[in-house]
Structure 1
Amino acid sequence: MAEPKSEQRIDELMQELLELLEEKVQDEENQELLEAYREQEGATDEELDAFEQYYSIRLPEDFRAFYKRKNGSGYAFHVLFPGDAAQNEDMVFYMLSLEQMKREHDGTVEIRMEDYFSEEEMLELDPRIKPYLHQKSWITFGKLGGGSLYLMLDFDPTEQGTYGQIIIFKHDPDFVYYVAENFTELLEQSNRNLREIDVIEY
């Protein structure tokens, strides 16, 4: 039976990601993190199903495909580089395991933007994102080592958005930004940016 198209594309992007990491990671400490990433196992279908049931969500197929191969990236080993490296506007994230995602999310308190922002400031918000700073239907799967950036799946977009779209919360000043329509697009963007980087430094 042929593998679904989304899984085939994720396989291609993950192989490209590994090749880029092997090229760009050069110092000894990061080589050890890379080796740990190589050995990182994936989540089972049962674990992914349980995660969906726990939050009453449906994980996008491309996201599931990645996590079936790698259940996160290991603490502080940055593997996602969304943004625009050519304009020096790229960001770096390590990926949480399913268990880390649950610990990060449980206890989330919703904060509406209207409680802290003027109407004029809220006009800067992408129309695909509902006006929150924190939302229980946003699930963090990526973080910057220091914790000032959070990469999230959005399971409650506006009518203009897409279920499971990728958004970022940035701290200081606090705001939320749209990144990609889906996880595949995020990986394509990330790999493209990673190609622009000479050496990965932490």
Structure 2
Amino acid sequence: MHPIAEQYIAGLKRAYFDYQQGETWEHFEKIRQGLSDTNTQELKRIYPGIPDALISLLEYVDGTYRREYAGERISFYFLGSDVEEYPYYLLPSDKIIENRNLAVKFYAGYINREYQEVEIDNRITDRADALNWLHFSDCMNGGGSSQLFIDFSPSEKGTYGQIVRFLHDPDEFSVIADSFEAYLKMLMDKGYDFIHDYDFE
């Protein structure tokens, strides 16, 4: 397992226990399953730059949003963002593969800067025809308010593999970390605040 992913998971487990959600975590650990070799190969084929740390997380659990394990469908808070105390899910590998064209389909107009009122980080390309984003996470309401992407097509001011956060109403696209590893470190440094005070029942 990638060292940052291993450190992240260990810290997340401690955070669940610290927030009196130890039973929730223990149940999750009993039923979780990792992604298949077939999907690993497909992810690497579609996204040659996919970070090893993300592969490691998916090997640990192949998604936490409406994912069925051991006959039980779960939705489990696993990630966060720069939005304070707001939880996100890790998407399953099938959904990451299925959503390969999601950003172009829904956000081409934004990326091409057709809507001046929408705030878009200048580290993000202004060419929708060149857009190459990996959609790896949706927020707690299924992505209706926020989504997270790994950006393999940054502008000249950006960094290959940077993390882009889309936030709805008002709509904005921001780069929140220069890499997936830096993104996980940010969540650790914030003390996994996205699981604070939420009802897990």
- Quote how far apart the aligned CAs of 1:112 are: 3.1
Change (3 A) 1:133 1:73: farther
Change (3 A) 1:152 1:179: same
Between stretches 34-43 and 93-102, larger displacement belongs to: 34-43
The answer on whether the counterparts of 2:126 and 2:155 sit within 8 Å (CA) in structure 1 is no
Q: In the alignment, is residue 39 of structure 1 matched against residue 31 of structure 2?
A: yes
Aligned to 1:94: 89
TM-score (norm 1): 0.75
Distance 2:51 2:162 in 1: 9
Letter aligned with residue 11 of structure 2:
E
Distance 1:138 1:175 in 2: 16
Change (3 A) 1:195 1:142: closer
Letter aligned with residue 112 of structure 1:
G
Letter aligned with residue 178 of structure 1:
V
- Quote how far apart the aligned CAs of 1:23 are: 2.4
Instruction: Kindly tell me the number of residue pairs found equivalent between the two proteins.
Output: 186
Instruction: Name stretches of at least 5 consecutive residues in structure 1 with no aligned partner.
Output: none
Q: In the alignment, is residue 144 of structure 1 matched against residue 139 of structure 2?
A: yes
In structure 2, the residue corresponding to 1:111 is in which secondary structure?
helix
In the TM superposition, what are the counterparts of 1:99-114 in structure 2 within 5 Å? 99-106=94-101, 108-109=104-105, 111-113=108-110, 114=112
The answer on whether the counterparts of 2:39 and 2:94 sit within 8 Å (CA) in structure 1 is no
Change (3 A) 1:199 1:102: same
- Quote how far apart the aligned CAs of 1:149 are: 0.7
Distance 2:82 2:26 in 1: 22
Distance 2:186 2:26 in 1: 21
Cα deviation, 1:125-158, whole Å, max 9, x if unaligned, reads 3222113789851121111132221111111112
- The alignment-based identity, stated in percent, is 22
Instruction: Name stretches of at least 5 consecutive residues in structure 2 with no aligned partner.
Output: 67-74
TM-score (norm 2): 0.75
Match of 1:176 among 157, 173, 176: 173
CA RMSD of aligned residues (A): 3.1
- Quote how far apart the aligned CAs of 1:175 are: 1.8
